[in-house]
Amino acid sequence: MERPKIDVAERIADLAEPYERALLTIRGYAAALLDTGYPRDTLYEDFGRARSVLSGRGAPEEAADTVLDAMDFPVGFSSSHMKL
């Protein structure tokens, strides 16, 4: 599958701020990507890169923690209603 024109990691990082409401937003974005056939392993890598993007931006640690929490969704290491 061809990668989207946008940088998924950058977009995830954008969604992580403001981090107070970001977890469900990031999950929804990830679910939409997977629904289009976006590779699960690539999405997981993008989550990792998003944490680096946030670090480079000097974002609050809570934003990176939110992305770290969201990384569990595609691999199924979350509650059953949050798995992707």
pLDDT of residue 19: 67
pLDDT of residue 12: 84
With cut-offs at 50, 70 and 90, classify the pLDDT of residue 22: confident
Question: What residue segments make up the domains of the chain, in order of their start?
Answer: 8-75
Query: CA 43 → CA 15, 57, 67, 82, distances in Å?
Result: 15, 21, 12, 16
Residue 4 clears pLDDT 60, i.e. is over it: no
Residue 81 clears pLDDT 80, i.e. is over it: no
pLDDT of residue 58: 92
Rounded to whole angstroms, the Cα distance separating 80 from 35 reads 18
Q: Count helices and strands (H / E) in the chain.
A: 5, 0
pLDDT-wise least confident of 15-19, 22-26, 41-45, 63-67: 15-19
